[in-house]
Amino acid sequence: MRLSRRSLFGWLGSAAVSLALRSPASAEEASPSVTALPGFTGPGANPYWNGVNPFVTYPQKLPLLRVTDRAVQLETPRPYFLSPFTPNAAFYVRYHLELIPNAIDLRTWRLSVEGNVERPLQIAFDDLVKTFRPVSVAAVNQCSGNSRSRFQPRVPGAQWGNGAMGNALWTGVRLKELLAAARIRPGTVQLQFQGLDRGPGPEGKGADVVMKSLDLTDPALDEAVVAYLMNGEPLPMLNGFPVRLIVPGKFGVYWTKHLAWIRALTREDANYWMATAYRVPDTPRGNTTPADAAGGALKTVPIGHVRMPVRSFIVAPDGSSKLLPGLPVRVQGIAFSGQGPVVKVEFSEDDGRNWVEATLGGDHGPYSFRTWEHTWTPPRPGRHVLAVRATDRTGDVQPDAPVWNPGGYLWNRVERQPLVVGAAS
Amino acid sequence: MDGRRYVGIGLLLVAGGLSQASTALGQPPAKAPGLVEEGKYDSGNLGMQMQPAPRRDDAGPVYAVGPWPNYTLPLADGQGRDVTQSFCGICHSPTYITMQPPLPSATWESEVNKMIRVFGAPIPEAAAQQIIAYLKAHYTPETRKE
């Protein structure tokens, strides 16, 4: 349906309603007021850029948006995405299980490389840092369910807005060097990763530990890093101190926090976190329908079989102020893809009807956020809808269609920002 | 707060003479061109967050942070709330319920069953039925209010 510009302008008082009807991918006007957002959104799509949750403070963190408090899940507020690197203190947090480390003793801490290896290793922190050559990689960590609150119909799970992502410069040791030191034996099919965080559930059902595995032949392992620095500083506890796995291009669920065990497996990992959870339909974009998902015949694969699809975001202006007609505005944002570098970002001032190429910011590597900007001069008073879309090296362009699957994964629709331009006379 | 403020303004008006009344309270003087409104405050109903004090770390090998704070809003009042909080709370906070969008009854039923059958939550059948009934009564598109 199409509403005229005039009628939309008249609806500003109930913009949420008009947006829900028109475009569930839009970021709601975010004008800060002194009244609180609603406590939840739905059954329609969440119209806000972030989730509606309250600001809270955690150790080593700036006020972030509380999704859940036990286990801890915190979303990064939108303004932190103005810079290509996300500050550690603002970096999002996502745990599955509640027994999160509060204190770790580096005197007794060890990283184990075990299983089907010739020389099992128990590496002390000091040895990890001194024995192996340090490397650095800029890479985006994004939760598989980032933007899940956009799904229609809504699906259960952490109701993230767009802030379950972050980019950091990760410094550590190449995983391949550790594997070479341990000498992986023939017959190894997967590598399994497990961290120190645990849950109170009974053993072996998924609520005691989280384990994720990647095929030994996965090229992502060549670029994987066991990181002990994040943006040049030790990792905050809530981001995986003392070391976490970095798998550039893959979703965050494979980036095991508090990494303590690397296991060479001779059989495919059948634990809950591989066989049941974090699976996506084996279809283009992981797209399906509620009917097909309920039908039981849908073939699924672990989300590690795909790389993060290309995405881009408008960070500013965020609708917090009315704009002036005729005065240029610097529209800024970020883009990334798990499939290699973003090669193009396009900007639309008319809700996605016409596109112009935006200017890309500095190149920090193929898996980093890439900033973009475009100077836009609001032509006249009224309501305007900006849109952005990115293209990556593989030629993938962000589609302007929603995606749906029961897990709430892989959202990458074109993003929009409605804005109000006032009169100057 | 507001009441006291108005009393204060009233005293000022009395002290300054009633001739001033026409320029007080949201009616700026004519010599401020374009000014539409001024001096409005309210009670700050979003609340405030205290600024955290720094930690005092020692130079030993243990790297510690404080306890993880809980920021849990109460579940909707109603029959079954206590049993829901105590059984679900074995593994997670009630924010796992309140953060969800309104979900259909069948989804809540399958979520509770997943906790028991897949994750092994030790919830007796009778309690499970009470939990499902409570979630249906307060957290579906038809029933959710807060």
Mean pLDDT of A126-150: 98
- pLDDT value of position A30: 54
Beta bridge partners of A162: none
**Cα angle A307-A388-A36, degrees, rounded to a multiple of 5:** 95
- pLDDT value of position A31: 60
A and B: number of Cβ contacts within 8 A? 127
- In this complex, the residue of B63, B68, B92 whose CB is nearest that of residue A106 is B63
What percent of chain A has pLDDT above 90? 91
- Token code pair at residue A71: 């286990």
- pLDDT value of position B42: 85
Query: Would you identify the CATH topology of the domain B81-138?
Result: Cytochrome Bc1 Complex; Chain D, domain 2 (1.10.760)
| CB atoms closer than 10 angstroms to residue A178 | 20
Q: Can you tell me the distance from the alpha carbon of B64 to that of B62, in angstroms, rounded to the nearest whole number?
A: 6
Q: Which of A142, A149, A409 is nearest to A279 (CA)?
A: A409
Q: Which of A343, A365, A339 is nearest to A249 (CA)?
A: A339
Q: Among A26-35, A66-75, A94-103, B62-71, which stretch is predicted with the lowest mean pLDDT?
A: A26-35
Mean pLDDT of A292-308: 96
Looking at the predicted structure, is the pLDDT value of residue A138 above 50?
yes
Q: For chain B, say whether A103 makes contact (Cβ under 8 Å).
A: yes
Place of tokens 């550039």: A248
Whether residues A70 and B45 touch (CB distance < 8 A) is answered with no
Quick check: A409 and A300 in contact, CB under 8 A? no
Q: Can you tell me the distance from the alpha carbon of A340 to that of A322, in angstroms, rounded to the nearest whole number?
A: 37
- pLDDT, averaged across chain B: 86
- pLDDT value of position B45: 82
Query: Would you identify the CATH topology of the domain A5-45+308-421?
Result: Immunoglobulin-like (2.60.40)
Interface of B with A (CB under 8 A): 42, 44-46, 49, 52, 55, 61-73, 90-93, 95-96, 98-103, 107, 111, 118-121, 141, 144, 146
- Show which of residues 214-253 on chain A sit within 8 Å of chain B, judged by CB atoms: 234, 237, 241-242
- pLDDT, averaged across chain A: 93
CA distance B14 to chain A (A): 32
Task: Identify the DSSP state of A128.
Answer: H
CA distance A135 to chain B (A): 24
Q: Can you tell me the distance from the alpha carbon of A274 to that of A302, in angstroms, rounded to the nearest whole number?
A: 6
Q: Give the tens place of pLDDT for each residue, A240-262.
A: 999 999 999 999 999 999 999 99
CA distance B101 to chain A (A): 5
What percent of chain A has pLDDT above 70? 93
Whether residues A205 and B118 touch (CB distance < 8 A) is answered with yes
Looking at the predicted structure, is the pLDDT value of residue A136 above 50?
yes
Q: Among A35-44, A125-134, A210-219, which stretch is predicted with the lowest mean pLDDT?
A: A35-44
pLDDT band at residue B28, thresholds of 50, 70 and 90? Answer: low
Three-class HEC string of B69-115: CCCCCCCCCCCCHHHHHHHHCCCCCCHHHHCCCCCCHHHHHHHHHHH
Q: Give the tens place of pLDDT for each residue, A1-52.
A: 333 433 333 333 333 333 433 444 456 655 677 788 999 999 999 999 999 9
Place of tokens 């909707």: B76
Domain boundaries, chain A: 5-45+308-421, 93-303
Domain boundaries, chain B: 81-138
Name A236's Cβ contacts closer than 8 Å, sequence gap at least 6: A59, A60, A61, A88, A89, A91, A230
Handedness of CA A239, A96, A412, A341 (dihedral sign): positive
**What letter represents residue A359's amino acid?**
T
Q: Which residue of A50, A65, A68 to mutate against B (max B Cβ within 10 Å)? A: A68
**Cα angle A167-A170-A172, degrees, rounded to a multiple of 5:** 165
Mean pLDDT of A186-209: 97
The H-assigned helical ranges of A85-131 are: 125-131
Mean pLDDT of A165-181: 98
Longest dimension (CA), chain B: 78
pLDDT band at residue B2, thresholds of 50, 70 and 90? Answer: very low
Q: Which residue of A69, A110, A149, A241 to mutate against B (max B Cβ within 10 Å)? A: A69
Nearest chain A residue (CA) to B48? A55
- pLDDT value of position A24: 42
pLDDT band at residue B24, thresholds of 50, 70 and 90? Answer: low
Nearest chain B residue (CA) to A39? B146
Domain A93-303 sits in CATH at: 3.90.420.10
Whether residues A56 and B45 touch (CB distance < 8 A) is answered with no
Q: Give the tens place of pLDDT for each residue, A359-418.
A: 999 999 999 999 999 999 999 999 999 999 999 999 999 999 999 999 999 999 999 999
pLDDT band at residue A336, thresholds of 50, 70 and 90? Answer: very high
